[in-house]
Each structure stands twice: as C-alpha cells, then as structure tokens.
Amino acid sequence: MRLTTAILGLVLTSSAALAQQPEVDAPTLALINGKVLTLDGQSKVAEALAVRDGRILAVGDTATIMALVRNGTRTIDLQGKTVVPGMIDTHAHFRAAGLSGYVVNMSTAKTVADALASIKQFAAKKKPGEWIIGSAWHPPSQLAEKRYLTRQEIDSVAPNNPVYLRTVGHFSMANSLALEKAGVTKDTSNPSGGSFERDGTGELTGLLVETAIEKVEQAVPAWTADDEFRQFKLAEGFLNSFGITSAIEGATSAGEIAALQRVAQAGEATLRVGLMWRPEPPAENAAWEAILKGNGASSGFGDDWLKFAGIKIFYDGGMTLKTALMRDAYPDSHDGYHGVTQQSPERLKQLVSICNRYNWRVGVHVVGDKGIDQVLDAFEAADKEKSIKDRRFILIHGSLILPEQMERAKRLGVRVDFQNVFMWEKAATVERFLGAEIANRAVPTKTLIEKVGLNSLGAGTDFPVNTINPFINMYIMVTRKDPSGRVYGAKEAVSREQALRLYTSAASHYMFEENAKGTIEAGKLADLTVLSADFMTVPEEQIKDIKADLTIVGGKIVFQR
C-alpha cells in the first residue's frame, strides 16, 4: 500500500509546504493534538512529539512541538488519538504470516471434514508428487473432534501428493507418501524423545511426536532464498498492521537469518528483529561447542534492525498438548505420565554450559513446573562456572511457573517471557488436560510482576500458535477471560498500564534496548503506534477491539489503516 500524507484525513501540512525542501535540523515528522502515553519513569502523558533522523526529537504540548515545525515537516493532527510506544512481541515465529499462497491454511478448520476439504482444495492446484505443506494450527483445541488427522484420512483427499501438516512445533501429521519419502515405515524405531505413533495393529497413524518430526521435516523441500525473502517481507508488514514494531523471532534457522539479513540490507525492513538462533544440537558436545564458538559472534551482535538475541533450546512440550513436564502425573494418567523432554537434564546442563562459555545467552522453551525446576538447575550450574546474573537468560513460556521458582529466577537475573494469549482459545484444553486448579494458575502474570519484577518480563504470542493481536493478549491480561467470557485465575489479572508496559517498556529489556526504545522520550527510536481508541479509558470489553491506525518505525510510516 502506498503511504500518503493523510491519516484519517487529519493532515495539516499543505501540499505547497511538502514541495519545499526541509530545513537543516528541522523535524521530519510531528504528531500533534493527541494523547501521548510516554510510559517513561513517571508515566507522563503528553500532547505531541517531533521526530528527526529516525529518533524522537522532542515530546511536549502541541504549542511546543509546533514551534519546532519548519518547511518540509510532515505534521499530523491526531485529533485526540492515543499514541503509544511501538509494540514489541517477545516471542513469535512471524515468518508464518508470509506463507499465504505457499501453504494450505488450516487455521480456520473447525472439524475434521473442514480440514480435509482445505487439503483437497489445495491439492487440486498441485501436480502429482508435489509436496503439500500445512500452516500452523492446533487440532486438539481447534477441531470439534479434539484430535489429529490420520494418514489414511489425508490420503483420501490427497492420494498423489506427499502431505506434511505442522501444528505448534511438538506434533505434526504426515500422509503415506510423505512418510515414504522420509523413509519411515512401521518398522522404523522411535527416536529418543519422540515417537512415530501407531494404532492397535502396529500401523503408523501419521502422527509425529517431538523429535520424530525431524525425520519427515528433513524430507520436505526447502523454500528458495527468494521465497524466504518474500515471506519475511510480507510477514513484517503483517505485524506492522497490528502496531508491532519489534519482535523476537523465537527459533530461527540459519536460512531464516540469511533471509532476514537480506531484507535489512535491501533497506526494506519495517520490523526490528531479535534472533533466537536455533542450531540443532549434535550428539557430540564438541560439535555443539564448535557451532557456538563459530566465528566469534555472540548475543548482541547486530544493529538496530537485526540482532542476535541468544540461543534457543527446546526442553519440554506444552500445556495445550499434554506434553509439558509436570511434577505431578497428569490427572487421567494410568501409568504415572508426567510429560516429555527432548533431552535429559544432564544433557541440558551441558548445552547451556557451552553456550555460556562463549557468551551466548540462552532461552529455553519450558512450560511445566518440573521442567522449570530442571531448566533453573541448568542455569544455576552454568552460573557457578561463569556468572549469568547480568545476562538475562530466559525462561521462554514458563506458563506453569510456581512462586518459589520465580524467586530462583530473580536471584539468577533470569527473564520470563510468557504468552497470556494461550488462555484465549485454548484455556478449556488446558483445563481438560491438567484440571481446573492448574488452568487457573497458568500464566500467573500478577505474581510474576510481584516476584520477578516488571522489567524482567515480557509479553508475546507464540504466533502462529496463537493470534498475533497484542490487544487481544492485553485484554486477557487485564480480564483473564476466554472468548466465552469465562475467567481463569482472576487474581492474576494486571492493570492496563502493566499490560501495556509488558509490550513496550518492559519488553525492551529483552534485547538490552531499554535505553533505545520501549518508551516515548527524546533520543529514543521513533517507533510509535497510533491507536483507534484510548487503551487506558475505553470500556474493558473493548480493549480487544482496539486497532492500530498508524504504525511508525524509525520515523517512517510503515502501516496506516
């Protein structure tokens, strides 16, 4: 979409003024007559701000900012609209937003029949033998049948194409041709930390669990470099449309890093990205050490647009998948089932230790309370070898963290970056798998703020597992309601300002960028979002309906509604 000088028809600057060259040191942009929530240390509210060279030049009342305006300054009259710092999603897999047309969309399926119809329609456009890949989705909570598809069902609608359906990273589905391409038969042994699911007769069902996913994933043809470049450009624009100006890419491959670097170097980036690099840990520690030692780079390497945030390691599964590692056995378990891990606690300690040795910060995917125990054990062991206290190691998700674990995290200087939005469409699934008591203590936001401190926390979505919409996420933080209006864990609700800070000022600490962004103050990056309604005063039920009317990154308009 071509950006114009008008936003909602509220531009003051005349076309004659725009035709003139800007004066030296003049602001390039001025926003006036608004409600500017600075979220600075005093939570000041201003009326206007000016931008120059991609940074905020001044913040104040409209008269003060208008006194700075010169020929060539683009001036926008907000007519009372609210301005907040640009939103920061601290955990997303946002490339998925750029896959439209490349994959079959499974996100709208409500029944098994819906899902199969989508695959059949997509397959009709493919030649025999061409792979069909699915978008991320969550069958246990999304489908009326509350189950995954079988390979036989997928075969029935795409008999001539290998089909591979990703879900949320812990389960995938494959049809017969896809399993054949990957060399998986009913006699194939289960890998450590995963399984090729089988029915009562020993036949493969097509469901791949945890590490078994890799066997089929490796057979799927890779996207071309040009594909990945286009996908990330589309994805960045999609996030901008929600007012998001920065995001942490939650598990980034080498190819994805190269594509993001290409976008940035082409000057086409519209989103600031922190990279959680995910190299697959080889079996031998020496090989892992060689990867981490690399060419000397480590966490923090990069610039304002693209920067290494740390190393991503997976540990347990998920509370919405019945795979989070729990202290107590699952309520309906008949064999003492506690969840799964992708490696042993000792192996985790070794991986974390090597990362720490080469100055790589570590973020570990962990959800269950027993899993959190073991990740904190690994962090404590690394800290004894070389202090991690100022390094902001991360519990990624930490959904079922307990108060004593929060205190351990605080002593170590460990962040917790959680996603309240898991309790949107999936709250009932959490309750079904783990019981009402645990569902009500999931994502304990208020207690985390009290125990760990706001600036050691951040809010994300884990998109595409959940919606990328920050206003739905903040609505859940404030109300603890799911779409039906049911409240889960009312005592963990937080204030509106706390919710907004978890997306802005607090979130900026993830990348050690609290002095560069996250608040609206002179000298900071001009990353800003203009809202359709006042977040602080709109009726509570309308928080989820707020939209971004204008998104600005580095002083440039990258989205306008």
pLDDT at 333: 86
Q: What is the pLDDT of residue 13?
A: 37
For tokens 């640009």, name the residue. Answer: 86
* Rounded Cα–Cα distance for residues 304 and 310 (Å): 16
Q: Where are the alpha helices (DSSP H) in 73-171?
A: 112-123, 139-142, 151-157
pLDDT tens-digit map of 476-528: 999 999 999 999 999 999 999 999 999 999 999 999 999 999 999 999 999 99
User: Beta 272-277 vs 306-314: how paired, if at all?
Assistant: parallel
Which residue(s) pair with 365 in the sheet? 314, 396
pTM, 2 dp: 0.87
**pLDDT computed for residue 280 by the predictor:** 84
C-alpha 28/C-alpha 341 separation (Å) is: 52
CB 141 within 8 A of CB 107: no
Tokens 């000022």 — which residue?
A: 505
Query: How high is the pLDDT of residue 193?
Result: 85
- At 502, the amino acid letter reads L
- Is the distance from CB of 28 to CB of 52 less than 8 angstroms? yes
Phi, psi torsion values for 545, nearest 5 degrees: -95, -5
Antiparallel, parallel or unpaired: β 29-32 and 48-52 = antiparallel
- Of 557, 503, 510, the residue nearest 39 (C-alpha): 503
How much is the pLDDT for 380?
Answer: 98
CA distances from 29 to 33, 67, 143, 550 (A): 14, 13, 48, 13
Amino acid identity at 221: P
Instruction: State the DSSP H helix or E strand holding residue 47, giving kind and residue range, or none if neither.
Output: none
The pLDDT of residue 137 is 87
The closest of 254, 262, 367 to 318, measured between CA atoms, is 367
Element (H, E) at 327: none
| Beta strand residue intervals within 110-174, DSSP E | 132-134, 163-166, 171-174
What pLDDT, on a 0 to 100 scale, did the predictor assign at position 8?
A: 40
Q: What is the CA radius of gyration of the chain?
A: 24
For the record, the structure tokens of 402 come out as 């307990």
Angle at 489 between CA 485 and CA 490, to 5 degrees: 70
Token pair in block for residue 137: 């989705």
Q: Are 81 and 530 a contacting pair, CB within 8 Å?
A: yes
Q: Which residues of the chain fall below pLDDT 70?
A: 1-24, 168-169
Amino acid at 544: K
